[in-house]
Structure 1
Amino acid sequence: MEAPIFFSWLISTSFMASITACIILVLKVIFEHRLSAQWHYSIWFLLVARLALPSIFTSPFSIFNIYRFLNKTAGKPVDMGPLQTVIRNTPLHKGIWQPMEDYTLSVSRISMNALFFVWVVGVIYTLSYISICNISTMRIIKGSKWVCEKEPLEVLEKCKENLSIRKNIPVIQSYHIKSPALFGLLNPRIILPAHFYSRLSSDDLRYIFFHELIHYKNRDILVNLIICIIEVLHWFNPIVWYGFKRMRQDRELACDAAVLELLNDKEYYHYGTAIIKLLESTKLSPYAYSMAAVSSNKALMTKRINRIVTFRKESKLRRITGFILSVLLSFVVLTNSESISYTGSSKAQAEMPQNVIFEDLDNYFQGYDGSFVLLDANKDIYYIYNEKRSRERVSPCSTYKIISSLIGLETGRLRDKDTKIPWDGIIYPFEPWSQDHTLETAFSYSVDWYFEKFTDEIERDKIMDYMKKIGYGNSDISGKQNFWQESSLKISPIEQVDVLLRLYKSQLPFSQKNIDTVKHIMKVVEMEGSVLSGKTGTGIVNGKSINGWYIGYLERGQQVYIFAVNIQGLDNTSGQQARDITMSILTDKGFI
């Protein structure tokens, strides 16, 4: 089972949320006494939004634009010594052969499936823990005594009237509760600790009821539920958990401030005195999403008392300042850098073309999970084997170097097929790589460092713009240096054929000169009346070749056939095998 796309999004979102939480914490220190308690609480909703929104638009103001710098300074792929594949051309038919070899380094990667399994186990454990906390709380509530005395109920009704609340909210008392709390999402109840309920004056009750009713009015129980769901999904991220712990604390401070806004100056002292009576911390878990309690711990209580003593009603200027700062911060943390956004289709599969003839080619793909797509460009008929795999997007590997060459030429980083880039001096495991190269020789030997060097000199925005114009697979170049090599960029065999068709017809957004240059370096063999052009690609992960490509087109007089073969396997699955399968099929069909 493949780890779902959702999991990759979750990991990326959790990382960006960690940065968001750190920025919020820094700003809270800077503006600790300059902005209101409500602002200090509300700003945490940016963290909630960062974690909850499935898709966020891009912005040049995003803090995550730093990702572009990281992409440019990222190290080279891990050289795993002998764990590489060398794919060599051997003449299948008589003709003039262009030397073409696909040297491929292994990509080091942690199994996403293993990480996904660990994540699922963590989700189950965390969800079980939170569920037990809430079940225990509900049992306590069920065994509690309802408050029926006239005086506290009259105080409650006056508080509700003051806050324009019409909902019937009963009051209960329990010896198991050490702090007043609001309980219940759909049927809210106010819980009072029975051990000092009898010692509460009418004013004490009024302050407590105001506090809990503000929790109700602000829908804090619902917020608790959303936070708990997020915490379950991001159980592995301590920064997210700490951020939400601080959010809960700031919520109590904001609730205090809201109560003080309802009182006159002389009542601030009495409200603080009532809070001091609640210094004994609750024994209920803070992860009981169905509760919003008055107190949390003594350290927080001390901070709350200090805030109450120094409370001043918020001025209009402070409100405006807080609002402007929140808006500016949202542009920074709630937007993505274009370099880490999906600019193409988010679908995992491509659309099936019309005029398709499905073929049974099982005999050619024994031992592989593969697909074959052939387009008769003259008749506009597709011949497809394995519909599912032909639509499924996978890493293009070195076949992307066709597009990379076009972009390099179009942006001026490459002049022509003879553009030489000096060898970087690194001793590679492949002798042909350890020398100077031109575009033509680098394409033939699939020299990664050559393509990396000129690609790094091109702004990611420009590359992305070309991806959009071409419609190249998912157009996701968010991976680091080699985003085309078992990384973020993915394309299906059907889409490979579509891109090659537009390349052949000179319908891609590149000059005719540059298209002709790439067509020239793609040529593999010229036979009597026929020309075969193509490119192999191999994906090696942790020393095992798991992904093989061979794409290209065959010209036979006026006839043009465009093809893409992809094979998947656990190991020994390379572009060489994909090419051999392609040539066998084309030969048996009589095209060669």
Structure 2
Amino acid sequence: MDILVKSFLWVLHASITASIAALLMTLILRLFKKHIGVRFQYALWIIIFIRLVMPIEFQSNLSLLNLVQQKYQSSSDIQDKSVVKNMTYATSNFLREGKNSWKYPVRNQLTAVGESSKKDNYKEENIKKGDITTNILTIASCIWLLGVFTIAVLLFITEHKLKRKILNLAELKDLKVIQLLDECKKKMNINKHIPVYVCDSFKSPCIQGVVKPKIYLPQLMYSTNEYKQLQYVLLHELVHYKRKDLLCNLITVFAVILHWFNPIVWFCIKEMRIQRECVCDAYVLEIIGEEQSEEYGMALINFLRLISNNIRVPQLAVFFETKDQIKRRIKMIKNFRKGSYKMSAAAIACCIVVSGVVLTNAVNAKNIKADNVAAVVSNNNLAKKQESKFIVDSQVKSYLSLKMAEESVGFKLKVPDFLPKDYMVGMDFSVIKVSDEDNVFDVDFFSMVNQGENNKSFKFQVSKENMEQVLKKEMEQNNKDRDGKKCEITKESMNLAGINGFNITIKSTFSNGYQETSKFFAWQDEGLWYGIEYKEDLQDSKGATSPMNISTDDVAKVVSSIQYVQDIKNVKYSIDIPSGGFDIYDKNDLKIAKERLGFNPKVLLKVNESINIEHLSAVTLEGSDTVNKEDKHEIGAIYNYSNGCFITFIQAKNLKDYEDINKDGYTEFKDNNDKIRQAKVQELKINNKEVFKYEYSHEEAKNEPIKSQNYVWKEDGFYCKVSIDTYDGKALANSDELVKEFINSKPMD
């Protein structure tokens, strides 16, 4: 459906542009018609129709749409620009807080990414606007396509009927007519064989066939034996062939099919046909001489008496049109002067200027191009696809399968088929959500030498968006996350292994004097942007280290080796992790998790307006016996609440906390000195469910006091546990109410 909408918007854009130009041209021709030659007028109409069917658009400062763009931009300054921006480029902040590990992340390293309810409402309002726009454009596109199909079928039927009537016609063998035709062809330097046919189906002389042209004469005209006047008819039809009018006629037919809804296009066709016949008349008069113009005009009048009305047939160039058009032609013939058919250098220059005005788009006219108008539809449809595809649409998604990561990122990509010596693929493949319309593929490659703190690595990324912009967004986000950080980014051209790209340097300086300097090589390949972070220098009070540092020679080899996933031969991209832990993003992941868990878990995506799911994963617990298929699994969810609160929801077939409480009436925990202590248990009834609640306090890094409130209960065949940790040492007042939402939640189908 996106292709259909974009096609319709391209047609609509071309139709509006050509209509504006046609109206201006009509006004100019009405005012200065006496001073503009017929051939120049016809050339102007041809430019209009080329604009209607031209699939490629170029930008120019001469473009007529520059005026439209300036008006649009000036009016948009008064309006709320943020609304337009969000509707067309719904770009979210670039958040990247490190890769999710296969197990639960460390609690005190998480950052809340929830938005305020005001922003949520604003976002919902824009999505609704996008839905309305999408629906309107989809309906309009379908109506347009139906019209295109209908017009095309009608023209096909008309053409088919015509061909059936002329299929068995015999070529005219009248020697006088053949001799007359040869004389006319000689005058016009035409060597191609063009047969003549007589047919009652035509009430006007015409020529048909772009590749194999044929002239058709009405029986009534042929039977008059007015050979002098017949010569004028043959010359006129040969002029149509000489000037390639049949090909131009095909362009107009195609334009009508595409722009059937635009009445101005139909008006343009009428005007162009009149000008076409006038140009042909001028060409004939240029051949026969000004002294025969009166006889040529009388031939038109005499043949007009024989014709009551005209049959219009597509892909034909006819000798007569309506009576009003004949009058205009007679007037042109009367005023004809030798040399008026030729175009002056000034007229040719004007045609070039008009082409620049009509056939091009405004420079950087982003707000009126069809592709960007369709951004509302594309972004909105993408949001719907993401919503239906992902259960948890995390900012950073980690996959153990390269194929799954490629499917998630949304485009076919290439990966290195060469790695420096002793390097291997990292532990996972990440997909980073840059915006609602763009994802970045990310994978790290590690050296197997010097494992540990001095481990060497380099990073490989792929994006539809310019890699420099991706890195800038990452830098801006890191600025927000780490106080006192100053960053600067520089770029210079760089060529590696014959591939032109850019060397991008990002230098970060912190208030305590700590410095980070990263170097990237970024280049474009088949419409996608690729980037390699090949060098990272860290400097603090203890000295300097370079955890990421591969030579430019190795970078060049990596860059030149990239292949599509299915063509990789030299690098192993399959990852084997015995633990079997994985993150859950879509329904397929959840299905695998259900099979491993042995029960259908609850999935609560939203607790309330300010608490949303942030992370969902399934893990294999310690003590599992994989050989005897006695694995122990659990599924864990993490929710953002506020900067001082952290919520987890765990479900498992066996839960030690519940077993201890049920057996001993208490549970145990370790304090800061690793001493085992007992926690008192409170029995609650929440929604007719027996729930055990216990609390304890402890400290983590920087002596931060943490209050942990825990709720455990039994479901049908599995156990649940909700933990609410507050980092100010105070218990959350409404914790019982929050747990109700988890208890009331249902498994996801």
> Residue 374 of structure 1 aligns with which residue?
396
State the Cα distance separating 1:175 from its structure 2 match: 2.2
Given that 1:374 and 1:383 are in contact with CA atoms closer than 8 Å, whether structure 2 keeps it comes out as no
1-structure distance, mates of 2:351, 2:221: 41
Within the alignment, does 1:391 sit opposite 2:410 as a pair?
yes
Within the alignment, does 1:58 sit opposite 2:59 as a pair?
yes
Given that 1:221 and 1:289 are in contact with CA atoms closer than 8 Å, whether structure 2 keeps it comes out as no
1-structure distance, mates of 2:394, 2:368: 27
Cα distance, 1:387–1:342 mapped onto 2, change above 3 Å: farther
2-structure distance, mates of 1:515, 1:167: 78
> Residue 693 of structure 2 aligns with which residue?
none
Deviations 1:73-114 (A, max 9, x none): 158589x9xxxxxxxxxxx99989997441313424253222
Given that 1:375 and 1:383 are in contact with CA atoms closer than 8 Å, whether structure 2 keeps it comes out as no
Give, as a single letter, the amino acid of the residue that structure 2 aligns with 1:15. Answer: I
Deviations 1:104-137 (A, max 9, x none): 1342425322222111211111011111221222
> Residue 193 of structure 1 aligns with which residue?
218
> Residue 91 of structure 2 aligns with which residue?
none
> Residue 277 of structure 1 aligns with which residue?
302
> Residue 561 of structure 2 aligns with which residue?
none
Matches within 5 A, 1:425-574: 491-494=437-440, 495=463, 499=469, 501-505=471-475
Matches within 5 A, 1:206-221: 206-221=231-246
> Residue 325 of structure 2 aligns with which residue?
300
- SS state at 2:251 partner: helix
Matches within 5 A, 1:169-188: 169-188=194-213
Cα distance, 1:98–1:372 mapped onto 2, change above 3 Å: closer
> Residue 655 of structure 2 aligns with which residue?
none
> Residue 7 of structure 1 aligns with which residue?
8
1-structure distance, mates of 2:310, 2:263: 21
2-structure distance, mates of 1:31, 1:131: 39
Structure with the larger helix share: 1
Cα distance, 1:582–1:189 mapped onto 2, change above 3 Å: same
Q: 1:245 aligns with which of 249, 267, 270?
A: 270
Cα distance, 1:579–1:122 mapped onto 2, change above 3 Å: farther
Within the alignment, does 1:580 sit opposite 2:550 as a pair?
no
157-166 or 310-319: bigger deviation: 310-319
> Residue 47 of structure 2 aligns with which residue?
46
Given that 1:211 and 1:294 are in contact with CA atoms closer than 8 Å, whether structure 2 keeps it comes out as yes
- SS state at 1:123 partner: helix
Within the alignment, does 1:233 sit opposite 2:258 as a pair?
yes
Given that 2:199 and 2:216 are in contact with CA atoms closer than 8 Å, whether structure 1 keeps it comes out as yes
What stretches of structure 1 of length at least 5 have no aligned partner?
Answer: 81-91, 350-363, 394-471, 474-489, 518-557, 560-564, 568-572
State the Cα distance separating 1:44 from its structure 2 match: 1.2
Within the alignment, does 1:118 sit opposite 2:64 as a pair?
no
Q: How many residues align?
A: 419
Give, as a single letter, the amino acid of the residue that structure 1 aligns with 2:68. Answer: Y
2-structure distance, mates of 1:241, 1:345: 23
Cα distance, 1:314–1:366 mapped onto 2, change above 3 Å: closer
State the Cα distance separating 1:285 from its structure 2 match: 4.2
State the Cα distance separating 1:52 from its structure 2 match: 2.2
> Residue 444 of structure 1 aligns with which residue?
none
State the Cα distance separating 1:66 from its structure 2 match: 2.2
State the Cα distance separating 1:251 from its structure 2 match: 0.5
Given that 1:67 and 1:340 are in contact with CA atoms closer than 8 Å, whether structure 2 keeps it comes out as no
1-structure distance, mates of 2:287, 2:484: 72
Given that 1:221 and 1:292 are in contact with CA atoms closer than 8 Å, whether structure 2 keeps it comes out as yes
Cα distance, 1:366–1:73 mapped onto 2, change above 3 Å: closer
Cα distance, 1:578–1:271 mapped onto 2, change above 3 Å: farther
2-structure distance, mates of 1:14, 1:169: 37
State the Cα distance separating 1:304 from its structure 2 match: 0.3
> Residue 633 of structure 2 aligns with which residue?
none
Matches within 5 A, 1:394-433: none
1-structure distance, mates of 2:617, 2:156: 58
Cα distance, 1:44–1:345 mapped onto 2, change above 3 Å: closer
1-structure distance, mates of 2:43, 2:393: 52
2-structure distance, mates of 1:166, 1:111: 55
Cα distance, 1:53–1:181 mapped onto 2, change above 3 Å: same
State the Cα distance separating 1:146 from its structure 2 match: 3.4
Give, as a single letter, the amino acid of the residue that structure 2 aligns with 1:295. Answer: F
Within the alignment, does 1:310 sit opposite 2:324 as a pair?
no
Deviations 1:320-349 (A, max 9, x none): 232122122122212211243599997999
State the Cα distance separating 1:491 from its structure 2 match: 3.0
Structure 1-normalised TM-score?
0.60
> Residue 450 of structure 1 aligns with which residue?
none
Structure with the larger strand share: 2
> Residue 469 of structure 1 aligns with which residue?
none
Matches within 5 A, 1:28-39: 28-39=29-40
1-structure distance, mates of 2:365, 2:586: 27
Given that 1:190 and 1:212 are in contact with CA atoms closer than 8 Å, whether structure 2 keeps it comes out as yes
Given that 2:392 and 2:613 are in contact with CA atoms closer than 8 Å, whether structure 1 keeps it comes out as no
Deviations 1:135-190 (A, max 9, x none): 22223323545321111110100111111111111111122321111122332111
> Residue 73 of structure 1 aligns with which residue?
75
2-structure distance, mates of 1:506, 1:205: 80
Deviations 1:376-417 (A, max 9, x none): 9xxx99989664453379xxxxxxxxxxxxxxxxxxxxxxxx
- SS state at 1:172 partner: strand
2-structure distance, mates of 1:370, 1:282: 73
- SS state at 1:338 partner: coil
Structure 2-normalised TM-score?
0.48
Give, as a single letter, the amino acid of the residue that structure 2 aligns with 1:491. Answer: E
Deviations 1:527-552 (A, max 9, x none): xxxxxxxxxxxxxxxxxxxxxxxxxx
- SS state at 1:62 partner: coil
2-structure distance, mates of 1:328, 1:197: 45
2-structure distance, mates of 1:96, 1:582: 9
1-structure distance, mates of 2:391, 2:310: 54
Give, as a single letter, the amino acid of the residue that structure 2 aligns with 1:237. Answer: N
2-structure distance, mates of 1:272, 1:54: 41
Cα distance, 1:116–1:365 mapped onto 2, change above 3 Å: closer
Cα distance, 1:231–1:61 mapped onto 2, change above 3 Å: same
Deviations 1:173-208 (A, max 9, x none): 122321111122332111111113222422212111
1-structure distance, mates of 2:18, 2:369: 24
C-alpha RMSD of matched pairs (Å): 4.8
2-structure distance, mates of 1:175, 1:373: 73
- SS state at 1:191 partner: strand
Higher gyration radius (CA):
2
Given that 1:371 and 1:384 are in contact with CA atoms closer than 8 Å, whether structure 2 keeps it comes out as no
1-structure distance, mates of 2:246, 2:113: 72
1-structure distance, mates of 2:282, 2:24: 24
What stretches of structure 2 of length at least 5 have no aligned partner?
Answer: 84-106, 376-385, 413-433, 441-462, 488-539, 541-546, 548-584, 588-604, 619-635, 641-645, 647-749
State the Cα distance separating 1:292 from its structure 2 match: 0.8
2-structure distance, mates of 1:369, 1:13: 41
Cα distance, 1:99–1:128 mapped onto 2, change above 3 Å: closer
State the Cα distance separating 1:262 from its structure 2 match: 0.5
1-structure distance, mates of 2:610, 2:30: 59
Give, as a single letter, the amino acid of the residue that structure 2 aligns with 1:28. Answer: L
> Residue 508 of structure 2 aligns with which residue?
none
Higher RCO structure (Cα 8 Å, ≥6 apart):
1
- SS state at 2:33 partner: coil
1-structure distance, mates of 2:188, 2:208: 19
266-275 or 107-116: bigger deviation: 107-116
